[in-house]
Every structure is written in structure tokens, then in C-alpha cells.
Amino acid sequence: MVLRLASGRIAVGILGVIALLAVLGPIIAPHDPLEGGTDILASPSAAHWLGTDYLGRDVLSRLLDGSRVSVLGAVQVALIALVVGVVPGILSVYLGRPFEWVTLRLADTLIALPFLVFAVAVTALLGNGIPQAMFVVGIMVSPLFYRVARAATLSVARSPYVEAAILAGASVGWVVRKHVWVKVLPPIAVALANTTGVGFVVVSSLTFLGIGVQPPAPTWGGVLAADLGYLSFQPWAPLAPTALIMATVWACNLLADAIRDVTGEAGRALLNTRTVHAAKEAR
Amino acid sequence: MSPEPVLAVTDLHVHYRRVHALRGADLTVAPGETVGVIGETGSGKSTLARAIVGLVRPSAGRITIAGQEVAGLRGGGWRALRRRGVVQYVFQDPLRSLDPDLTVEESLLEPLLIQGRPRRAAAERVRELLERVRLDEDLLGRLPGELSGGQRQRVTIARALATEPRLVILDEPVSALDAANRVRALEFFQELRDAGTALVFISHDLGSVAGVADRIAVLFQGEIVEEGPTREVVNAPRHAYTRLLIGSAPTLRSARVARAEREELRELLRTNGGPA
């Protein structure tokens, strides 16, 4: 469906390349991403295509090697937000008052919780590591997803067409699958695209607390943070990690828009007219 | 000639928090009969309709649909009853009662698939339904936004007929239609009645109901104040409110009821709710 739109094809293409990097990156890296050298802060050359960093490590290798951790982290954040935010958000409309009340108060609590305190507490309880760090981020963004999903569900739950389905004997599951999900998906897809971008940056910002990715292990966000410290020597250096993060976030946003366009009523109408035009031209 | 009624409502009360919206309504519909329910905004006619199909919980009273007592039913019981497709409901606003993201075909398939019919048989049935409401098959792939108001209303009626109901509740079915489509819809309801489907036709407009209904019940402030054969109610109304309704109909007839008389009737209703 998404592939019928040009923007959808571009987005899927870029995300496909990123996924490929995540799988193959550590294998095709030309140098050891952790091995330093005497040649520090070097400009791009045949040996080091993107130069070296402040410890003489090959930047290209560090970006390639860090792609798996970065992408997996962002995906994990998105999945946690979906499960912890979107699912209760939809169900809060249908499972009755007690469930609604409890989940609403939990969402309020999470919004009020200071991020760093929560991060430190989780690390103390579950130990230090990337999954734990991404768990923290996922939980912290889930109230947003809860709210968005709940608002979208509420807006359709009392509509006459849902009542018509109920009068035909539809179960809650049927109503959610056939009517609610399509209305919830577009705003969720947009929020998800944004969150993925935030995820990359947050992974590196947690590093300074000693949480999540431990130096010297590379991530895109980590490489970017390190480059920013040496701007006066290599003002161009942040461009490479920035380009990677931006391309991913942009592709996510593009995909979100494409999903919105093909699932929404406007998009369906658009595709219909295109099909009609195509049919006319074929004649 | 008294077969089991398809719908029997006895002493039905509905409260919305403090508001007593329905105060002991009684209504009986025999198989194949068409009963008009008329009343103004806030008289409780939609509440009555929604209570019959279980969208509103009555606070007291009995509702029997095809012999089954339904007023005390909970979620599962209602679902089972609805899946049998005995009662269907046509909403007032055809645009809002069709999912904007579902094509005409998907909307019409829905009640059949919920019943658990195989997809191919259901698709065949959808084509029959379209023919019955005189819609073109080309419209199957369209979204509600791409249809005209009259076409949309015919889709919602086709959806209501999908399960071959014995009783159809029409909640202000022609209020959102223009004059030409209104006449066509009313003709169609007559055909439906002739085919043996019982109808409860709810409207604020006596003129729309009078041509279709065998009997008319007049709702006023949550009570049925008058009920009888259509001809009697229209020609010899007993209750002051009915007389006011007929007198207020925007037709040439209304010229006969003088303005002074209408005001007199209003005054009468204000003071004592009117004589029985």
C-alpha cells in the first residue's frame, strides 16, 4: 500500500539501506572501531575515508560499527512505546472505568517523573546496559503515545458508525480492528517517527551518566557528541553522523506521512483517483 | 388475528442522571406493521429508539423483541441477539453512520461477516442488497465521502437490511435528505412494509410518517399521549399536543388552524400538560 506512493518508496528504500547497515555494518567496517592510532584528528584520506577522531580511531568504521546498536536501540524505544503506550491507550476507552482511571493516573505519574532520577533508579534495579537504557527511554515517552492513542480512539468510539457495528453484534476486538485502528495509526506513526529521532540522540546523552552504551563502544549519537568537542580542529566532522541520523529520521517521517496518506480517507480517495487515471491512460 | 408481536415495550422508563427522559412508554408492533412515533426535539423519541436496541439502559420497564425479554440483557446476551439480525437500526445522519475509511462494499459486508457468513456468500448478498435499494454496482469501491446524500442513505438502509431483519427502527431517516430523495426514501419504506418487514418510523414530521405508518404514537415530554390508527390520529386528534403538531405542519392545511388557536393550545399544554 505504502509503496504506491513515491514518498513511501523513497522512505522504505532509505530505511532498507539503514537496516542493511545495522546488519552488515560491523562486518564491513574497514578498521577496528576501537583501535586508536598516532594519526589523530586526520582529514579524510584513502586509508580513512572519513578521517580519524581524537584518539586516532577510524570514523567510518565507528559509524558502521555503531549502526547496529543505534538502530536496535531506536527500534526498541518504538516497540516499548507501542506496547506500553498505544495498547493501553486504546483499551482505556473500552475496558471500563477502573482500568481507565488507573492508566490515566500512571500516565500522569510518568509525565511528572524526572527522567534522570528514573534512569538511575532503573539502572540500579536492572543493571547497566543498552536494553535497560532504551527501556527507560521507551517508558518515558509512552505517556505521549498513550494520550495520542486514547484521544484518537475517543474521537471514534461514540460515532454512529461504531454504534452501527455494535448493533450488528460486533465485539470490542472487531470494532478496534475494523474502525478504531485505522484512525489511531496515522497520528501514532507521526509520533513514532519523531520518537525514533529522539531515541538516537538520547542514547548518546545517557552515556555521560554512565548509563547505556559504555565508551569506547561507538554509536551514531556518541560519535556526534565526540566530534562536537573538536569543532575548532575539524569543523566538518559532525556532518557524517548528523547525515546518518537525519536521513533515518527523515525517512521515518516520510514513511509516517505515507502511512497517514494511504490509511486515511483522503489518501484512499487519492489512490482511487490515481487508479482511475491510470485505467483511463491504459485505455 | 393476534400473532406474537415483534416488539412489545411496556412501561419503559429511562433516566439520564436526573433527567427523566422516558416516563412509562408503551408500544407494540405486530409483524409487518409500521408504527410511526412522532414528537418534537427532546420528547424522548430517540431515547425510545435507542433503548429498544440496547444503546441506552432503561431504568425500569420491559422490552420484548420477537418473544425475548431484552431489557435486562448484558453485553454478551445483546451481542448474541444482535448477531441474529432480528432488529436493525437506521441512523439519522447517513454520512456519520458510515465509516469514512470503509468502501461501500466493506460497510455492507460488515454485518454479514460479523454473523460469520463466508466471504463469498456475503459478497453475493451485498450485490443483491444494492439492487434492492437501486444503487449501481460501480459504487461498491467508493468511499462515503464520494457519494451523494441520497446514495449514502440508501447504503445505510441496505446495511440495515443485510441480515433480513423482522423489525427496522428508522430514527429520523429522512430528516437529512432533500425533498426529492425524501419522497424516494418514503416510497422505499412503503415497499419494505409491503414486503412484510415491521418498521418503527421515528420523526418530528407528521407529514413524512402519515403516508407510511399503519398506526401513529405521539410522544410528548417522555410519555405517549396518543396512539391510534394513522387516519384517526391525523383526522381526529384527541390530545392538545397532537392538534398542535398537525396545526403546525408547514402545509396548506395549517392555514386552517388559526394562529390564535395554536397559541391557545400551547397555553393549555403549558398549564396542565393537556387533556388526555
Q: Between these two residues, A212 and B217, which has the higher pLDDT value?
A: B217
For A59-94, letters b (16+ CB in 10 Å) and e give bbbbbbbbbbbbbebbebbbebbbebbbebbbbbbe
Sign, Cα dihedral of B11, B15, B18, B20 = negative
Note whether B115 and B127 are same-domain residues.
Answer: yes
**How far is the C-alpha of A113 from the C-alpha of A120, rounded, in Å?**
12
Q: Which of B79, B101, B141 sits opposite A265 (nearest CB)?
A: B101
- Is it the case that residue B123 has pLDDT exceeding 80? yes
* B231, part of any domain: no
Q: How far is CA B62 from CA A75, B26, B43, B72, B219, in A?
A: 55, 9, 20, 8, 18
Residue at B272: amino acid letter: N
User: Does the distance separating the beta carbons of B101 and A268 come in below 8 Å?
Assistant: yes
- Å between A90 CA and nearest CA of chain B: 18
Arithmetic mean of pLDDT, B149-172: 91
Interface pTM, i.e. ipTM: 0.84
Q: What is the residue-level pLDDT of chain A in tens, covering all 283 positions?
A: 677 788 889 999 999 999 998 889 888 888 888 887 778 888 888 888 888 888 888 888 888 888 888 888 888 888 898 899 999 999 999 888 899 999 999 999 998 988 888 888 888 898 888 888 888 888 988 999 999 999 999 988 889 999 999 999 888 899 999 899 888 888 888 888 778 777 776 776 676 666 777 778 888 878 888 888 888 888 888 888 888 888 888 888 888 888 777 776 555 555 555 555 555 555 4
User: Does the distance separating the beta carbons of A182 and B80 come in below 8 Å?
Assistant: no
Q: What is the pLDDT of residue B24?
A: 86
**How far is the C-alpha of B234 from the C-alpha of A221, rounded, in Å?**
80
Sign, Cα dihedral of B88, B93, B96, B100 = positive
List all residues of chain B from 100 to 119 with a beta carbon under 8 Å from chain A: 100-102, 107, 110-111, 114-115
> CATH: 3.40.50.620, 3.50.50.60, 3.60.21.10, 1.10.3720.10. Which one for A2-282?
1.10.3720.10
A198, A189 Cβ separation under 8 angstroms? no
Q: State how many domains chain B has.
A: 3
CA B49 to mean position of chain CA atoms = 7
Note whether B171 and B76 are same-domain residues.
Answer: yes
- Å between B137 CA and nearest CA of chain A: 16
User: Does the distance separating the beta carbons of B143 and A269 come in below 8 Å?
Assistant: yes
* B134, part of any domain: yes
Note whether B140 and B188 are same-domain residues.
Answer: no
Note whether B159 and B196 are same-domain residues.
Answer: no
Map grid coordinates 542514547 to a residue. A203
pTM, rounded to two decimals: 0.76
Q: Which of A161, A170, A174 sits opposite B98 (nearest CB)?
A: A161
User: Does the distance separating the beta carbons of B79 and A171 come in below 8 Å?
Assistant: yes
Give the range of the structural domain holding residue B250, as residue numbers without chain letter. 237-271
Note whether B44 and B79 are same-domain residues.
Answer: yes
B53 touches chain A (CB under 8 A): yes
**How far is the C-alpha of A196 from the C-alpha of A11, rounded, in Å?**
14
Beta strands in chain B (DSSP E): 7-16, 19-29, 34-38, 60-65, 68-69, 87-90, 167-171, 198-203, 215-220, 223-229
The candidate with the shortest Cα–Cα distance to A122, out of A114, A133, A113, is A133
Note whether B1 and B76 are same-domain residues.
Answer: yes
